[in-house]
Structures are given as structure tokens and as C-alpha cells.
Structure 1
Amino acid sequence: MADFQTIRTAGTGARAAQIDEGLRAHMNKVYGLMSVGMLLTAGVAWGVGTTDVLMQALRGADGGMTILGWVVMFLPLIMVFAFGAMINRLSAAAAQLFFYAFAAVMGLSLAWIFQVFTGISIAQTFLITSIAFAGLSLYGYTTKRNLSGMGTFLMMGLIGLIVASIVNIFLGSPALMFAISVIGVLIFAGLTAYDTQSIKNEYLEHAVHGDQEWLAKSAIMGALRLYLDFINLFMFLLQFMGNRE
């Protein structure tokens, strides 16, 4: 993996300044795209979650999951894998549109939290998640420590977490849900720092080639990675901090 200082000092004067400026612009775009995605998700989740008629289409009058509800639950996961498979064939504009569509679908899948948790506790957890995410991402961006060694461990933990979460949908075990939440917070805290450093280093590795189309799509993929880190960190913290209706 590229080291920022090594690449930076490889150039001199104007070239080093150009790399610094390009990196700042790239990271600003990543965070900007992520923020728009978050606003879409929040808007859709709130709009659907506070409308009983729409929620009944997802959960039914008895509170059980409808067929549409099951589709909405798993559709974001399917879209993430599809996005990764299609990114090389998509234009930057199409990739950005796909990301926004994914964020809207994610809002549908999270609408239920407004039926379960109080609005105040959701807002408080969102604020705490934002502060924690900002600190972790800043650490990943500024640290001189190479975090690449965390990648394999975190991905293995993430796969195990997904499997355990799917199993617990059918088991409904409170003890397993507590363990999943604790592990989930730790994994996505680590992924936030790791992904931020990876996005930064990926830019530095490819910026010298001047491939603007690749850089544009890289910013979208980076926004998706950090978006998923934030959403999952928020959801796992909500299990601890959320006050139920």
C-alpha cells in the first residue's frame, strides 16, 4: 500500500502541492457524496417510518414481515454486491445514481426504527455516531500507522457478523443480539479508520496517472464504504442507546 509521505516527498514543489490539493478535493467529494446519501436515507426512513399505511405494507397489520418487507430487508445487501460487480462497466454518473438509489432503498429498510424507538433517542444516537465517526475517520486520515493489517481481520469479523445477524432473524435471541451489537460496534469503528486510510492511499496510488474517470468512481466507492460504516455503527449503537416506544 502506498505511503502518503513517500509519495508526497517523491515529487517536489508544485507537484507535491498539486497532490495535496487533489487529495483534499477527493476526500471532500467522498464526504460530500456520503452526506447526500445519508440525507436521502434519513428522509426516506422518516417519511415511511412515520406513515402507518406505508409501514403496514412492509410489516402488516399484525406486525409480522410481509413479502415486500423481506424484499426490502435484503435488497440493500444484494445492491451492494451488484454495485461491486458492475462498477467497472458503469460510467461515473451512472455509479453515482446507483449509489443514491441504494441510499433510498436503505432508508426503506431502516424505516422500522421510527416505529420501535423514540425520535429523541434516534436523534441522540445519530449525534453520538456522527461524533464518533468523525473522530475515527480523522484518525484514519492522519495517523502514520499502517492500518492495512487490520483489513483481513475486520473482513472476517464482518462476514461472521452478517451470518450471525441473519441466523438471529429466525432465532430472535436477545443474548445473541447483544453480542452481535457489541462486536458490530467494534468492527465498524475499526472499519471507519481503516476505510478512510484506504481511500486516501488509493487516491495517492492512482493520482499520478490522471485517470479522472477512475478517480470519480473511486470517490463514489469510497463514499459507499464510509456510508456503510456510519449506518452500521449507528444501528449497533441504537441497540444500546435507543429508548423503545
Structure 2
Amino acid sequence: MENNNPDYVYKNVIQLNETDASRKYLAKVFAWMFAALGISAFVAFEFFGNQGLMSLIINPVAGGFTGLGYAAVFAPLAFSMALSFGFNRMSYPVTLVLFITYAATMGISLSVLGLIYTASSMFGVFLSASAVFAIMAIAGYTTQMDLSKFGSILMIIFFGVFAVSIINFFLGSSQIQYIVSFAFMVIMIGLTAYYIQMLKRIGAGIEYGTAESKKLVIMGAFMLYTTFINLFMSMLRIFGGRR
């Protein structure tokens, strides 16, 4: 049966365009996210497999972090803040360089995990984190529920838990670390769905071909990359088998 309602046709055409735009945007976001994960994995592998490089961040005698090691641990946080708060003032090339550098410094931090956890448990947790991330990404993309308020609450909790984790980095309490890791895991699972829905909406209204659209792709990749890394690390602290 033919429908001659012009409103019906118009709405369906617009919806189709928005869907295509979202998919195109998210495809680019995921491509850069995977590229960042590849950079981090490469750097982590190089540092872990090279005793000379590892000695730059871990004191071979005392066994603790060197000055450069502490810098490597906190450098990703500095890059993260620069990307988050300087986004509007930075050009696309600067944003891209910061993102790549952020992924590389994160790789240096991740290389230390090889000294703590077995390779098999790290691989198993990585696959588990990937599966959880994928499920929540699909849920965030397909759900009709507005996750904005839910995401805002999670962000508030995240900053509180993050502050506790920074303090515990120096206290070294295993009990607090376990609680923080579990909280981070739950938060990252929820934020994955929230970010995907948010990026889906951004992609639907983006104007392609501009420097701003390219920056939005990098920022989307930055959010998903950071979420996945935090999910992986929190799950590793809970389920990872130690050496």
C-alpha cells in the first residue's frame, strides 16, 4: 500500500541519514581507538622485552619505580587532562599528536604489568574485557533509554574513586585497591554504554570534512580507549593471576 504522506517520507529519510552518519563517525572512532591500543601494546612489549628500557622505569636493585618510572605512570594523566580541558583551543594536528603520545606513554605504564601478572592471565582478562566492552557498546548503541543522567552519576562516582586510587597509590593498601578496582570495573562497564550512545548522537549531527569533525573523532577514540584500558586494568587487578 502506497503512503503519500510527505511527512512520513521526510522523517524516514532524515533518520536514515543520521544513522549512516553515526555509523561512519563511530567507524572512524573505533579505528583510532584500535590504533591507540596497537601503539600501547607495541610500546609495552618493547619495554617489557628490553631490560635496558625496563631499568629506566624500574630500579633493578631496589625494585621500585625510578624518577622516570613515576613520570611514566602519571604522564598519561597529564595528557588526559590536556586533551579533556584543552580540546576547544587545540588544533587537529596537536590533538592527534597528544593522543598518540598519550597511547605511547600508557604503553610504558602497561609494560610493568608483565612483571606482576602471568602472560596467560593477562591474555584471558584482555579477552574478557574485550567481550564485556563489546556487549556494553552494542547495548549503548541499540538502547532507546536516555543514559545521560546515568552517565553523569557515573562520572561523579568515577572522580571520587579516582581520587581514592591516587591516595592509595602511595598508601599501598591491598584491601582499598581491591575495592577501588571493583568500583572502577562497574563504572567502566556503565560508561561504555553511555559513551557509545553519546558518540552515536554526536555522529548524527557532525559536519564531515572540517577540522572540528576530525578532532571529535580523536576525542571519541580517546574516551573509548581510556574506558577500555581502565576496564582491562581493573579486571586484571581482580581476576589476574600473579607471578
Given the alignment, which residue of 234, 237, 240 partners 1:239?
237
Structure 2 equivalent of residue 229 of structure 1: 227
Q: Distance in 2 between matches of 1:17 and 1:182?
A: 40
Q: Distance in 1 between matches of 2:185 and 2:208?
A: 37
Secondary structure of the residue that 1:146 maps to in structure 2? coil
Q: How does 1:1-245 map to 2 (within 5 A)?
A: 11-12=10-11, 14-61=13-60, 62-204=62-204, 206-207=205-206, 212-245=210-243
Q: Is the 8 A contact 2:36 2:100 kept in 1?
A: yes
Q: Distance in 2 between matches of 1:210 and 1:232?
A: 30
Shift, 1:107, TM fit: 0.4
Q: Distance in 1 between matches of 2:230 and 2:134?
A: 15
Greater displacement, 109-118 / 45-54: 45-54
Secondary structure of the residue that 2:96 maps to in structure 1? helix
Aligned residues: 235
Q: Distance in 2 between matches of 1:181 and 1:11?
A: 48
Secondary structure of the residue that 1:41 maps to in structure 2? helix
Shift, 1:210, TM fit: 5.6
Q: Distance in 2 between matches of 1:76 and 1:166?
A: 13
Q: Is the 8 A contact 2:26 2:203 kept in 1?
A: no
Shift, 1:169, TM fit: 1.2
Shift, 1:145, TM fit: 0.5
Q: Is the 8 A contact 1:203 1:215 kept in 2?
A: no
Q: Distance in 1 between matches of 2:169 and 2:12?
A: 57
**Letter aligned with residue 240 of structure 2:** G
Q: Distance in 1 between matches of 2:67 and 2:34?
A: 31
**Letter aligned with residue 87 of structure 2:** I
Change (3 A) 1:210 1:12: farther
Unaligned runs of 5+ in 2: 1-7
TM-score, with length taken from structure 1: 0.90
**Letter aligned with residue 57 of structure 1:** L
Q: Distance in 2 between matches of 1:80 and 1:112?
A: 20
Unaligned runs of 5+ in 1: 1-8
Q: Distance in 1 between matches of 2:150 and 2:223?
A: 16
Higher Cα radius of gyration: 2
Q: Distance in 2 between matches of 1:15 and 1:239?
A: 46
Secondary structure of the residue that 1:229 maps to in structure 2? helix
Q: Distance in 2 between matches of 1:10 and 1:105?
A: 50
